[in-house]
Amino acid sequence: MSEYQLTSTDNIIRTADGAVIPNDPLNTDRIEYGAWYAAGGVPDPYVEPPPPLPPADVVVMYDHENRLRTMEGTPPLTLEDFITHMNTMTVPEPAPKKRRK
């Protein structure tokens, strides 16, 4: 593990304390990083964070859908396919209320 880590921007992370160092030539932390780098320091590469987990209610619906599919003998959906399907569904309009006389 290096003393610094690259980010997806031009900011640098100092691994000792997680400080984000902006790309500002007057910033003392950036000057310190520049000297460390010039002396042969190699920062850790940027690592893309994992995608966020879907909300718990979506996971419950996904599990339920696949249990139903198992009982029906239908192949299960992947979570990605299930979410895509859910995002393309339309919610029917509620039936108009009957007026009381």
Residue 91 pLDDT grade (very low, low, confident, very high; cuts 50, 70, 90)? low
Residue 88 pLDDT grade (very low, low, confident, very high; cuts 50, 70, 90)? confident
Q: Is the pLDDT at 98 greater than 80, yes or no?
A: no
The C-alpha atoms of residue 32 and residue 35 are separated, in whole angstroms, by 5
How many helices, marked H, and strands, marked E, lie in the chain?
3, 3
Q: For residue 79, which phi and psi values (nearest 5 degrees)?
A: -60, -40
3-state secondary structure of 18: coil
Q: Does residue 22 contact residue 11 with C-beta atoms inside 8 Å? A: yes
Residue-wise pLDDT for 21-75, tens only, equals: 999 999 999 999 999 999 999 999 999 999 888 899 999 999 999 999 999 999 9
Of 33, 24, 26, residue with least CA distance to 5: 33
| Alpha-carbon separation of residue 87 from 58, 61, 65 (angstroms) | 11, 13, 15
Domains of the chain, by residue range, sit at 4-38, 56-88
Q: Is the pLDDT at 92 greater than 70, yes or no?
A: no
